[in-house]
């Protein structure tokens, strides 16, 4: 089993490098670390159960696709502003 704690928040991204103009963007980060663009890469062996706690630090509802066991149908996950939700999948 792998436990992962992520949050969604707003931060500055500098696509043209450190001297370029910042763009405010919503992104994911690991709890206790900075936001990252692209978001954190999570790799696990096939069949591993992932227990993901997702905290929404945005000012609006968060809707995430793709957090499910495959093959199968994958319903979007919705997290209210300021809320956290645990999602389990393999």
With contact defined as beta carbons under 8 Å apart, do 67 and 77 qualify?
yes
- pLDDT value, residue 73: 85
pTM of the entire predicted model: 0.86
- 15 vs 7, 19, 36, 38, 79, CA distance in Å? 21, 10, 12, 11, 28
- pLDDT value, residue 85: 97
Q: Which residues have a Cβ under 8 Å from the Cβ of 46 and sit 6 or more positions away?
A: none
With contact defined as beta carbons under 8 Å apart, do 35 and 6 qualify?
no
User: Coil, strand or helix: which one is 61?
Assistant: coil
**Cis peptide upstream of residue 41 (ω within 30 degrees of 0):** no
**Per-residue pLDDT in tens (0 to 9) along the chain, 90 residues:** 999 999 999 999 898 988 999 999 999 999 999 999 888 998 999 899 999 999 999 999 999 998 888 887 889 999 999 999 999 998
């Amino acid at each position: 089993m792998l436990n992962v704690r992520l949050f969604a928040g707003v931060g500055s991204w500098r696509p043209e490098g450190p001297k370029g103009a910042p763009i405010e963007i919503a992104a994911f980060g690991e709890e206790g670390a900075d936001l990252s663009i692209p978001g954190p890469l999570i790799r696990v062996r096939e069949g591993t159960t992932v227990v993901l706690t997702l905290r929404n630090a945005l000012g609006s509802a968060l809707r995430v696709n793709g957090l499910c066991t495959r093959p199968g149908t994958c319903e979007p996950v919705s997290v209210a502003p300021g809320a956290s939700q645990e999602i389990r999948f393999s």
